[in-house]
Structures are given as C-alpha cells and as structure tokens.
C-alpha cells in the first residue's frame, strides 16, 4: 500500500523533479514519463496503480512550514545578536540610544564650583557628583554641540535638572555666587579672619593656622604676626583657594601699596605700625590723618608716652583673648595692663601694627602735617569731629566737650 508523502518529504523533493521509481534521480527518464506538457496531455491520466505526485495543497503546506522554520531560526539569531551586541549594532546602524536625562528645571538646591582651568569634562563631573544632572553623556553632548564659555565661581543650582536647564543655569550670571570679602580699614587680624571665613567658607581655624606659618609670607624680620600686613579692600577670591593663598593675596596687596608709596623695605614695619595707629585714632577727615601723624611724631620726639586708647584696647584683647570691641574709653584694667602694646604703660611705638591701615593712613604716616600738637580727642563720635591741642588745659577742655556730648546723646559708644 502506498504511503502519503508528509510535508518534510515535500521540502526535500524539488517540485519540478520527475517521479523516478528506480531511485536514480539523475538518470534518463523512463518512457512512461512525459517530457513536455503536450506529451503529458496526450498521455492522459496516470494509471491508478502507478506512482503519483503529492497534492498541490500538501506542497503549499510544506513550504509554509519551511518559511516559518527559517524565520524562527532567523529571529533567534537576531535576538541573540541584539541581546549581546545591542550597543555595537546601534552605533553601526546610527540608532544611538538617547543618554539618560532628567526633565525640567529640577528641585531643591545645591552648588558646584567651577575652578579656573576647569574644562568641559571637569564641569560635567562636578554637576553629576552634585546630583544636578542624571548622566555624563547628556550634558557633555550639549557642551560639544554649543561650545559655551564658563566663568570660575560658585554656582547655586537645583538638583535633578535636565541637561538643557543645567546649562542655561550655569550661563545665567544670577546663579553665580562670587566669593567677595570686604575688609574694612582698621580691623584687627582676628576680625579679618572672621570676615574672610564668612565669604569663602574656609574655617577661621584654617586662617589662624596659615597665619602661624609667618616665614612663608615673606614679611620683614620685625614682624611677629600678620597684623597690619593684610591690606583692607574688597576682594573677589577664586573658588578653591586655600587659607594661605587668600592671606598671601592680601599680604601681596599691602606690599604693593607700600612700594607704590615709596616705603623702603627696611621701613615697612615702622610705617605700618604708625599707619595702624592713625587708622584707629583719626576720624574720617584726611586732614585729621595727617594731624594725628604729627601728634605721634611730636610725642615720640619729646619722650612722651603715646597714651592711645586704641593700643590699650588692642593690647588687652591680644593678651587676654577677649575679642569684643569696647567703648572709646578704656577701662582701668586695660589702662594698667602690662602688655607690650599698651602705650599707657610703655613709651614709644607698640611692637607692631594694631590693625589694617589703608592707603590714606600710610600716606599720612609718611607725611605728617606741620604743627605742635601733642593732644587730640574726638568730641563728636557721630561726625568724627576732633580737637587737636598743644597744651594740657586745651586738651582738658576738649575732653569736657566730649563728656557733655556723651551725656546729651547717651551714645552707646561712650560706654
């Protein structure tokens, strides 16, 4: 009994191959095998007992199964390649995956520092580490496309910002926080360290430690501290500067001022000491600066003690670690304290400056006004009006004027 051909057998048999019962597929056809359609038509229907072709429906089904198998094998291969070589395929085909990115302007607040010399990669890493952006590639690709310019500084940004929003924020000057410190004339070193710390967020202890390495600043041999050598001005410091660099900037500025004023290196310490006394004692008038300078010189020349309250205040603070500013009047304890800065106890100049003098005070120290004054007192603490006297009686009258002003105004500066 003849067996039906299944689909797999049809797959292996060419649909145009002749039926060859002898099994010789490549032999000569038998006489019973029609060679052409005309011969086949003339031959009529095949004998029922002879071999027959598979029905056309079976051939179609076999081909369908073959196609499904081929497609299945192909899909499996593609899946294997995709799972293992997705990144490479995407690059070759130009199907790059968009880098991960946040959306929107972000939330919260953080900050980054762009240092002088930072490149695009440095800035991108800073943003990533601060939680501003989601991925390195998203922001860096934007930098490569737009090639923006950045300024060193401290920038306040949100967290989880899109790359676009982060770049726009960095380019907005309103988000740049400058490390600006205003150092006021006459302030002592410990006050200056507080000011610098508030501006730079460098601990006061770091400034104190840096200042202790006095030899590293190149000061005159007479200097025993940085007192008086930190020039008072408005400074904008670069982010990332350490305490020593900040202080060195101020020292260099003071040395430049001294050089510009024509002060010889050997005279720097003495000039700064006198200038610091002028800065603390004189009012706001430049004329008074020069007059106070003359009083200092006249008293030194005649062997009188300076008896400046500013030195009594400073010496007490220096000796006892008390940093609170007192009134213009010295306490009995301050006047009697035997510290080297107290000019009520010691004759001549103190061992060094008692504060930070500015250019005007330095100029006055070099150019005292002509006069015979040996006394002065500020009689109006609001306006800075100062009376200069030659005799003790004149001075006592001026002191009485100050006392009356204090009684009338009840100013807290009167103590």
Which pLDDT band, with edges at 50, 70 and 90, does 154 fall under?
Answer: confident
Which pLDDT band, with edges at 50, 70 and 90, does 175 fall under?
Answer: very high
- Residue 22 lies inside a defined structural domain of this protein: no
Average pLDDT, rounded, for the chain: 85
Please give the average per-residue pLDDT across 29-50, as a whole number: 47
215 and 117, same structural domain? no
- Residue 185 lies inside a defined structural domain of this protein: no
222 and 126, same structural domain? no
What's the domain count of the chain?
Answer: 4
Mean pLDDT lowest for which of 81-95, 182-196, 238-252? 81-95
Residue where a domain stops, chosen among 240, 265, 290: 265
235 and 322, same structural domain? no
Task: Return all residues near 323 (Cβ < 8 A) that are at least 6 apart.
Answer: 190, 191, 317
> From CA 68, how far away is CA 90, in angstroms rounded?
27
Closest CA to 283 of 384, 169, 153, 206: 384
- Residue 188 lies inside a defined structural domain of this protein: no
- Residue 148 lies inside a defined structural domain of this protein: yes
The confidence score (pLDDT) of residue 17 equals 44
The confidence score (pLDDT) of residue 91 equals 61
280 and 340, same structural domain? yes
Compute how many other C-beta atoms are within 10 angstroms of the C-beta atom of residue 120: 15
Give percent of the chain above pLDDT 70. Answer: 76
The confidence score (pLDDT) of residue 28 equals 43
pTM of the model: 0.67
Please give the average per-residue pLDDT across 318-327, as a whole number: 79
293 and 381, same structural domain? yes
286 and 328, same structural domain? yes
342 and 299, same structural domain? yes
Partner residues linked to 113 by β-bridges: 154
Please give the average per-residue pLDDT across 78-83, as a whole number: 60
Cβ atoms of 166 and 157 within 8 Å: the answer is yes
Q: How far apart are the first and last CA of the chain?
A: 133
243 and 129, same structural domain? no
Which pLDDT band, with edges at 50, 70 and 90, does 177 fall under?
Answer: confident
Partner residues linked to 180 by β-bridges: 236
Which pLDDT band, with edges at 50, 70 and 90, does 179 fall under?
Answer: confident
- Residue 45 lies inside a defined structural domain of this protein: no
What residues make up the domain containing 254? 197-265
Flag whether pLDDT at 129 surpasses 70. Answer: yes
Please give the average per-residue pLDDT across 382-387, as a whole number: 93
The confidence score (pLDDT) of residue 97 equals 75
């Amino acid at each position: 009994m003849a067996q039906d051909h299944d689909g797999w057998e049809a797959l292996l048999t060419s649909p145009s191959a002749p039926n060859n019962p002898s099994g010789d597929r490549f032999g000569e056809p038998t006489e019973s095998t029609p060679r052409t359609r005309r011969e086949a038509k003339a031959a009529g229907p095949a004998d029922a007992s002879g071999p027959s072709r598979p029905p056309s429906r079976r051939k179609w089904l076999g081909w369908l199964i073959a196609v499904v198998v081929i497609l299945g094998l192909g899909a499996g291969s593609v899946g294997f390649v995709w799972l293992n070589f997705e990144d490479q395929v995407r690059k070759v085909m130009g199907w790059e995956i968009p880098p991960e990115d946040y959306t929107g302007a972000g939330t919260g607040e953080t900050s980054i520092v762009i240092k002088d010399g930072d490149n695009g990669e440095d800035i991108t890493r800073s943003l990533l580490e601060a939680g501003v952006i989601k991925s390195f590639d998203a922001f860096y690709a934007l930098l490569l496309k737009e090639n923006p310019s950045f300024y060193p500084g401290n920038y306040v940004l949100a967290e989880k910002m899109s790359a676009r929003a982060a770049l726009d924020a960095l380019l907005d000057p309103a988000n740049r926080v400058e490390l600006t410190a205003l150092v006021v004339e006459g302030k002592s070193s410990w006050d200056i360290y507080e000011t610098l710390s508030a501006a730079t967020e460098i601990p006061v202890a770091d400034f104190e430690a840096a200042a202790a390495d006095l030899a590293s600043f190149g000061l005159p041999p007479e200097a025993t501290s940085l007192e008086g050598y930190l020039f008072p001005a408005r400074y904008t410091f670069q982010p990332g500067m350490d305490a020593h660099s900040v202080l060195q900037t101020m020292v260099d500025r003071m040395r430049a001022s001294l050089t510009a004023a024509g002060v010889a290196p050997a005279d720097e310490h003495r000039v700064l000491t006198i200038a610091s006394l002028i800065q603390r004692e004189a009012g706001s008038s430049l004329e008074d600066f020069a007059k106070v300078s003359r009083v200092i010189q006249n008293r030194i020349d005649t062997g009188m003690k300076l008896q400046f309250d500013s030195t009594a205040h400073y010496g007490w603070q220096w000796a006892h670690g008390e940093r609170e500013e007192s009134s213009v009047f010295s306490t009995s304890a301050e006047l009697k304290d035997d510290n080297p800065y107290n000019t009520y106890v010691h004759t001549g100049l103190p061992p060094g400056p008692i504060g930070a003098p500015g250019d005007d005070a330095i100029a006055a120290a070099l150019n005292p006004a002509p006069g015979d004054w040996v006394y002065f007192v500020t009689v109006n603490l609001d306006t800075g009006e100062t009376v200069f006297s030659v005799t003790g009686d004149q001075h006592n009258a001026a002191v009485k004027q100050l006392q009356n002003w204090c009684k009338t105004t009840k100013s807290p500066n009167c103590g």
